[in-house]
Amino acid sequence: MRPVITVIITLILLSVSSSISAQYSSVKIEQKVDSVLALMTLDEKIGQLNLPAAGDISTGLAQSTGIIAKIKEGKVGGLFNIRGVERIREVQKVAVEESRLGIPLLFAMDVIHGYKTVFPIPLGLSCSWDIEAVERSARIAAQEASADGIAWTFSPMVDLSRDPRWGRIAESGGEDPYLNSEIAKAMVNGYQGDDLSKENTLMACVKHFALYGASEAGRDYNTVDMSRLTMYNVYFPPYKAAIDAGVGTVMASFNEVDGIPATGNKWLMTEVLRNQWGFDGFVLSDYTGINEMIDHGVGDLEAVSALALKAGVDMDMVGEGFLLTLKKSLEEGKITEEDINKACWRILEAKFKLGLFDDPYRYAQPDRARREVYTDSNRNAARKIAAESMVLLKNEGDILPLKKEGTIAIIGPMGNNRENMQGTWSVAGDHQKSITLLEGVKEVAGENVNVLYAKGANFVSDPELEARFSIFGKNTYRDNRPEEEILAEALEIAEKADVIIAAVGEASEMSGESSSRTNIEMPDTQRRLLKALLDTGKPVAMVLFTGRPLALTWEAEYVPSILNAWFAGSEAGYAIADVLFGDVNPSGKLTATFPQNVGQIPIYYAHKNTGRPLEGEWFQKFRTNYLDVSNEPLFPFGYGLSYSEFKYGEMTLNKTSLKGEESLSVTINITNESETDGKEVVQLYIRDVVGTITRPVKELKDFQKVFIPAGTTKTVSFSITTDDLKFYNYDYENMAQSMKYDWEPGEFIIMVGRNSDEVQSQSVIWEK
Ligand code: BGC
């Protein structure tokens, strides 16, 4: 019998004979980890810290690849992005049966917005403001991925971002700390469930710690320079929310934090993460994140690997810096064996918690995979959630919802493109199965509608630019005929239609990792197409595909109806059609501000007031504003229309003067004055008028998404306590050593509204 198994069995027998309390179960894991660690050689311990990508493994060939040899030698702790339950079983078998100690591997994947059933990109999902739906999407993803061999996902990504030039804004929940924190919790709960050892849960990994979304100029992997107050009050809360929800692992970010790359930053990885927040799982570098510290300029491979380990990084993704150098560093006294033990211990502990030592194949059950992956019920859930995420940006003349009659022309490069529907990070998704807009519209419109299609334009005119966003093989079907010819063909189709649906925007690889853009307007070719379609005089409803806020000033002025569909996943075609035809009433609201132009970036609602705020009309000399464009966003945070008409009553407060731990209750009536049932996201913001540090002009503190049947009124109530008023401030008595988290008495402005711009407000005094 293998030593590990022997030790575990001995321990299990021990625990049975001394059956103590439930608490004993965690002690048991500690003892088991200790006993496994005691059997390991130094090389095997270092091996556990190594996480290669499984690029070169394939069935049959598996035995002969480099990674397989390393697995046999005990030099691999886990593998990621290997697809398919059979292959995973095969590789696990090698680890369990052919390595000296038989320690099972941890199989991971970027299951970011769904597995085979793909949900909207995270930015889109956040626009649902439906936390329960967010959790459900993660639960379904966990169910599918865990059936197919995966035990660990590199999600949630909660890098708050206020810069839509950054392509990875697509992967997070937008610009707000509170909303992102709610999402972080829901995702962790959805993935991990109530018991990590259950076969249908995944261990989650919150990423990228930290501040990655604040890369300078929106250029990926770029420098971040930020005050500690902004870190603690704005960018840290979502990561902390994931930690508080019990996330199993944390991924270090590529960027630097306060002058030291996050991956080698001990203040971040140990002081903040473990000492201040009490995180007790393990930390993983990002892809070659350790090696990249060489280019950051903090040392050679040996130095940066030691730096990462000392900082608190336990596992090395892909770069093998740990594998290649830690032994030498130990010999040279740069690290201690205790440093290695600690990292190895944490990884083993995770494997125990997942139940992999009890059953290495727990997450790889071919039967389950056949039954539980990409089921009708999962796909239906994805369709519903996708429809919830869409944001109606404009609807002049009530072009939408469309009637299920006549002839509809779908025109645009996203009108019939299967590969680009799912959006960034659909690693396991089968792009050939995603539903196109054309298919969705045909299906939902039914037989009475004649649906036509033409491409109308390429995504962009520059083929070299197009090649840069077609790297992962998501075909954009570039049409190399002259632009006029492509357009003329579309106009002929448009002539036959009663209504035109313009399917325009980004291809899915125009956002996501390494897809930063400086021009975020509608690409040239597509703007020309839109103009020509509008010139036909027919009603045009624009369906926008995008992974980021775009500067759509022209479109917002001229196109009568705009539905932002984001990239809504494998069922997107159906979900968009559900909304276009009014089977689903849109209820999404933006979670990242849409700027008028790129020069306004960073633009976000929770800004500070400055000493010269613009009060009243733009432009004013010597005030905080621009000469050439107002401060207003194109579409503010929290904005989104509905087919219903919601009228807000007057908000009432139970008190306007409070003391200490009293709570404030805020009530408002909202009436659906239309004949269409609908959902409204009611938002509550607070401004702390005077502080010992400057405070934002408003901060989201709560929200409710409520269903209001046609012609009825709903009363929405919020309860505010002093917890909602707290913020981080320097602990002046202990300057710069630590932060304190508290509230300060004084005046607070309470705001309620349909978006961050349209609010009503009342002031209260809250004393200690
Ligand atoms: C990304 C991570 C991802 C990792 C593994 C990196 O490039 O930054 O978010 O989890 O690759 O695919």
Question: Is the confidence at residue 764, as pLDDT, over 80?
Answer: yes
- Using DSSP's 3-state secondary structure scheme, residue 755 falls into coil
pLDDT surpasses 80 at 645: yes
What are 527's two structure tokens?
């703007």
Closest listed residue to residue 133, CA positions, set 143, 144, 122:
122
Residue identifier of the C-alpha nearest atom 8 of ligand 1: 286
User: Quick check: 737 pLDDT over 80?
Assistant: no
Average of per-residue pLDDT across 486-491: 98
pLDDT above 70 for 3: no
How high is the pLDDT of residue 194?
Answer: 95
Q: Where are the domains of the chain?
A: 382-590, 646-767
Q: What is the DSSP string of 391-447?
A: EEEEEGGG-PSPPSSEEEEEESTTTT-STTSS-S-BSS--GGGSPPHHHHHHHHH-T
Nearest C-alpha to atom 2 of ligand 1 is from which residue?
286
Q: How confident is the model at residue 18 (pLDDT cuts 50, 70, 90)?
A: very low
CA atoms within 13 A on the CB side of 196: 22
**Alpha carbon of 305 to ligand 1 centroid (Å):** 19
The conformational region for residue 336 under phi > 0 = left, psi -120 to 50 = alpha, else beta, is: beta
For a mutational test of ligand 1's pocket, the pick from 287, 426, 472, i.e. the residue with the most ligand atoms closer than 8 A to its C-beta, is 287
- Tens of pLDDT, residue by residue over 369-380, are 999 999 999 999
Pairing, β 205-209 against β 78-80: unpaired
Ligand 1 mean position to 76 CA, how many Å? 18
Q: Residue 81 — very low, low, confident or very high, per pLDDT cuts 50/70/90?
A: confident
Query: Which tokens is 629 given?
Result: 């464009």
The CB of 220 under 6 Å from ligand 1? The reply is no
Q: How confident is the model at residue 19 (pLDDT cuts 50, 70, 90)?
A: very low
Q: Which atom of ligand 1 is nearest to the CA of 254?
A: 8
Instruction: Verify whether ligand 1 is closer than 6 Å to residue 154 (CB atom).
Output: yes
Instruction: Read off the pLDDT of residues 133-183 as tens digits, 9 standing for 90 and up.
Output: 999 999 999 999 999 999 999 999 999 999 999 999 999 999 999 999 999
pLDDT of residue 4: 52
Choose the CATH number for 646-767 among 3.40.800.10, 2.60.40.10, 2.40.50.140, 3.40.640.10. Answer: 2.60.40.10
Q: Is the pLDDT of residue 7 over 60?
A: no
Amino acid at 364: A
Q: Say how far apart CA 107 and CA 52 lie, in whole Å.
A: 10
CB proximity list for 232: less than 8 A, separation 6 or greater: 728, 739
Residue 66 has what pLDDT?
A: 87
Amino acid 460: pLDDT: 98
Please report, rounded to a whole number, the percentage of residues in the chain having pLDDT higher than 70.
95
Is the torsion defined by CA of 221, 226, 229, 233 positive or negative? Answer: negative
Q: Given this model, what pLDDT does residue 1 score? A: 44
Three-state secondary structure call for residue 637: coil
Region for 193 from its dihedrals, namely left if φ exceeds 0, alpha if ψ lies in -120 to 50, beta otherwise: left
Helices and strands (H and E) in the chain: how many: 23, 27
d(CA 181, CA 132): 14
pLDDT above 60 for 14: no
* Burial of 516 (C-beta count, 10 Å sphere; 0-12/13-18/19+): buried
Q: Would you please indicate which residues are annotated as catalytic (active-site) residues?
A: 286
> What is the reported pLDDT for 26?
59
SS3 state of residue 579: helix
Instruction: Say if residue 272's pLDDT is above 70.
Output: yes
Residue 16, pLDDT > 50, answer no
Q: What is the mean pLDDT of residues 116-130?
A: 98
DSSP 560: S
Query: Max alpha carbon distance in the chain (Å)?
Result: 83
Q: What's the pLDDT score for residue 439?
A: 98
**Domains 382-590 and 646-767 agree in fold:** no
The pLDDT assigned to 22 comes to 44
Residue 329 tokens, joined: 């560093």
CA of 171, closest atom in ligand 1: 9
CA distances from 41 to 4, 91, 340, 350, 479 (A): 13, 22, 11, 20, 59
For the CA atoms of the chain, what is the radius of gyration? 27
CA 68 – CA 280 distance, rounded (Å): 30
pLDDT band for 65, please (50, 70, 90 cuts): low
Q: What confidence tier does 63 reach under pLDDT thresholds 50, 70, 90?
A: very low
Confidence grade of residue 5 (pLDDT, cut at 50, 70, 90): low
Average pLDDT of the residues in 720-733? 93
- Find the 155 Cα to ligand 1 centroid distance in Å: 10
Angle (nearest 5°) at CA 172 between 168 and 175: 100
Predicted local distance difference test score (pLDDT) of residue 554? 98
Cα of 286 from ligand 1 centre, angstroms: 6
Question: For the residues 395-400, what does the mean pLDDT come to?
Answer: 96
Instruction: Please tell me the predicted confidence (pLDDT) of residue 64.
Output: 47
Pairing, β 249-252 against β 282-284 = parallel
Give per-residue pLDDT as tens, 175-221: 999 999 999 999 999 999 999 999 999 999 999 999 999 999 999 99
Give residue 27's pLDDT band: very low, low, confident or very high (50, 70, 90): low
pLDDT of residue 735: 63
23-32, 67-76, 288-297, 456-465: segment of lowest average pLDDT: 23-32
Across 339-361, b (16+ Cβ under 10 Å) vs e yields: bbeebbbbbbbbbbbbbbbeebb
The highest-level CATH class for domain 382-590 is alpha beta
Mutate to test the pocket of ligand 1, among 83, 110, 206, 207 (most ligand atoms within 8 A of CB): 110
Q: Whose C-alpha lies nearest to ligand 1, atom 10?
A: 154
Determine the 3-state secondary structure of 387 from DSSP. Answer: helix
pLDDT value, residue 297: 98
pLDDT at 476 over 60: yes
Reported confidence tier of residue 21, pLDDT bands at 50, 70, 90: very low
